[in-house]
Structure 1
Amino acid sequence: MSAAPAERPAAGASGPSPAANALVRMTGSGTPEEHIHTVEGPRPTAGKDGVLVAVEAAGVSFAEVQMLQHLHPFPPRFPFVPGYDLVGRIVEVGPGVTGWKTGDRVAAMPRQGAWQRFVALPAKTLTAVPGELDAAVAVALVANGVTAYQMLHRRTRLRPGQSVLVHGASGGVGALLTQLAVHHGLRVIATASAAKHDAVRRLGAEPLDYRTPGLADQLRALAPGGVDAVFDHIGGRGLDVGWAMLARGGTLVSFDSSVAGFRPGQWFRPHVPALRRTATRFVARHLGLTRGRRMSMYYVKPGPGFSADYTELCRLAVEGVLTPRIAGRHSLEHTARAVRALLDGTSIGKHVLTP
């Protein structure tokens, strides 16, 4: 999924030629305005056991923000084409491919390379997308949706009537996780900035401001006996507060780490606290010192379970159970604006690129 040679600035309002590909390059560590550029190059072709997909929507996530700041735990080398996930239609099928044909609507999570008009992908990485789903909604269910679903249903053993704490309930993952938890019959206490509390209430959760100094006391007032699960994307010392709030037998799931306050280039340092705490509590649990509580780290990855869970999420979306909030739809030429919105922290929901 590397860019083809002979790249040039993307065409203007007249659009590119049918043989051209538009792609977004991240060229270095710094600001989106300085290091995110849209260019044109030759359209790729489907290789052996692969397909070529015309992208309808590609997601923008905090993973790309971390990559831009060189603070992602697995940073690609600059320059590269970012883009964790996409939805589109197959326009070319390569030799050796079975089960897929031209015109099929598919989703994929290549982890990088999705920010293009055309993307060549291995056929084995694809999963089907219902035709009636809006493309932005469908792509919001790929990395974000599967992350939320698997954390709730595969990393915990929660029963209706139990309680959970969801950090960042207004974000792309948090909002879907909150909706899934409410649908599962769970009581949801959720953190978000005060300006987003009404949106969190509409999801069915009880909001708290994560910046409040007395957050732990507020949590204890709402759930004196603790909560049965905590889903944390902040990391650091906040993991200790979440751990202390767990009821007996509860689960703390760490699925990301805030990079606020770290210098660009300290690529793994934001994630060390979660790794250290997970290892320490694993040992303590097996020594019988955690009252049955456990902590795990989660990282979404493709595979058979991914496809099955994505199919279930699409069903819930078609039925109206899940309503992913789309914070903005942007052309490839305005990708830097989408990344800037995430950096500024004013968004509710998912930003999506529509090539």
Structure 2
Amino acid sequence: MSETMRAVRITGHGGTEVLGPVRVPVPEPRADEVLVRVAAVALNNTDLWTREGAYGRPGDPDALSGWRGPVDFPRIQGADVAGRIAAVGARVAGDAVGRRVVVDPAVYDSDGPDANPVGLMGSERDGGYAEYVTAPAGRVHDVTDSPLTDDQLAALPTAYGTALGMVERARLAKGETALVSGASGGVGLALVQIARARGARVLAISSGAKADAVREAGAHTVVDRGRDLGGQLRAAAPEGVDVALDVVAGDLLAEGLPLLREGGRWVVAGALGGYGVAFDVRRLYLHNAQLIGSAMHTPRHFGLLMDLARRGALRPVIAAAFPLEQAARAQERLAARSHVGKIVLHPRAA
């Protein structure tokens, strides 16, 4: 193994100019860690927002900040890693070397199955925009026998983990009607697929140009976000929806909350439409509705996701792949939001 590796780091908050290819030492796994040779790493909106410092802080929403606070620069980005174990720490069984794996990127607040994520690989610790990355052995999942490609496996952790966390927290049941916002994005497509697999009727919001791809992912009905959204939603679901799976928030939450049926659940895991929201709180308490925040997944959720991956029960859509050195170009493509599915980088480790 080479003593150095290629990586792409951010040196501060800013535009893509802060992304820079470098050669750095290959990280050494600690006693309870493994070293993963990265085959593919998927991009997420969190890559953009961490680079831009767009998360804000409690009491100061406009502050430059990472996912959970200040970022320790320089930082190798990349939460979503698929690859093979190249080496193990002193307290990890040596027969793990060579196994094909997906890394759970979350840093949790405890060791239990329902622990909350309080950090993220690529933000609070170095990630997979590199030939190698270390991870705790307990957060690395063996998917050697999965029929999915490396690119598809890399597409799972953040997008599908977030989606499965939303669906689980919403307690979505067979036969219910689920509204999915931002349905052509990485999390949105995952939500469509998972909700459909749960036996829900899926009502998706997307642009007209991407509607066919969203239907192919499993949506029963797709409404165009660009024209009279409220009218379209009321026409498509005249009896209301049981669950909203929302990565947009903004005006959609205020306009859509009255669509919830009695006891409905509105789950928010993003703010693409804006984080400042005003809504009629009477529509919440008079109808026993629930407004639920959902940040990523728990260890239990991620275990369920990996079971689906081993069976090939989910089929992530890959929009484009770039070599590692083109990370800035890949992030620009992600920010343009003209694609459907996931964008991945290939470090091509030796």
> Shorter-normalised TM-score: what interval?
0.7 to 0.9
SS at match of 1:67: helix
Could you tell me how far apart the structure 2 residues matched to 1:79 and 1:311 are? 31
Match of 1:340 in 2: 332
Could you tell me how far apart the structure 2 residues matched to 1:200 and 1:119 are? 33
What's the CA shift for 1:99?
A: 8.1
Match of 1:20 in 2: 4
Provide structure 2 residue ranges, at least 5 long, that are not aligned to the other structure: 56-66, 106-119
- Asked if 1:74 is matched to 2:68, the reply is yes
Structure 2 residue identity aligned to 1:330: F
Structure 2 residue identity aligned to 1:74: R
Runs of 4+ in 1 over 3 A off after TM superposition: 270-273
- Asked if 1:349 is matched to 2:341, the reply is yes
Match of 1:12 in 2: none
1:314 to 304, 309, 317: 309
Kept after mapping to 2: 8 A contact 1:26/1:37:
yes
Could you tell me how far apart the structure 1 residues matched to 2:97 and 2:144 are? 15
Match of 1:122 in 2: 136
TM-superposition CA deviations, 1:69-127 (whole Å, max 9, x none):
21034252443111112111111111112486211222111521221111122212212
Kept after mapping to 2: 8 A contact 1:130/1:314:
no
Structure 2 residue identity aligned to 1:70: G
Structure 2 residue identity aligned to 1:35: V
Q: What is the TM-score with the length of structure 2 in the denominator?
A: 0.83
2:36 to 20, 42, 53: 53
1:323 to 315, 330, 337: 315
Identity %: 33
Equivalences for residues 279-294 of structure 1 within 5 A = 289-294=285-290
1:200/1:301 Cα in 2 relative to 1: closer, same or farther (>3 Å)? closer
What's the CA shift for 1:284?
A: 8.9
What's the CA shift for 1:185?
A: 2.0
TM-superposition CA deviations, 1:240-285 (whole Å, max 9, x none):
1221111111110000112x7xxxxxxxxx5464xx97xx96x996
Could you tell me how far apart the structure 1 residues matched to 2:10 and 2:179 are? 35
SS at match of 2:76: coil
SS at match of 1:256: coil
Structure 2 residue identity aligned to 1:37: G
What do you get for the CA RMSD once the two structures are aligned? 2.3
- Asked if 1:169 is matched to 2:183, the reply is yes
Equivalences for residues 126-137 of structure 1 within 5 A = 126-131=140-145, 132-137=147-152
What's the CA shift for 1:29?
A: 3.0
Could you tell me how far apart the structure 1 residues matched to 2:166 and 2:298 are? 14
When the two structures are aligned, how many residues end up with a matched partner?
314
Equivalences for residues 244-323 of structure 1 within 5 A = 244-258=258-272, 271=275, 273=277, 289-301=285-297, 303=299, 305-316=300-311, 318=312, 321-323=313-315
Match of 1:145 in 2: 160
1:158 to 160, 172, 180: 172
Structure 2 residue identity aligned to 1:208: V
SS at match of 1:155: helix
Provide structure 1 residue ranges, at least 5 long, that are not aligned to the other structure: 1-16, 261-269
Could you tell me how far apart the structure 2 residues matched to 1:310 and 1:204 are? 18
Structure 1 residue identity aligned to 2:316: P
Kept after mapping to 2: 8 A contact 1:229/1:252:
yes
1:98/1:302 Cα in 2 relative to 1: closer, same or farther (>3 Å)? farther
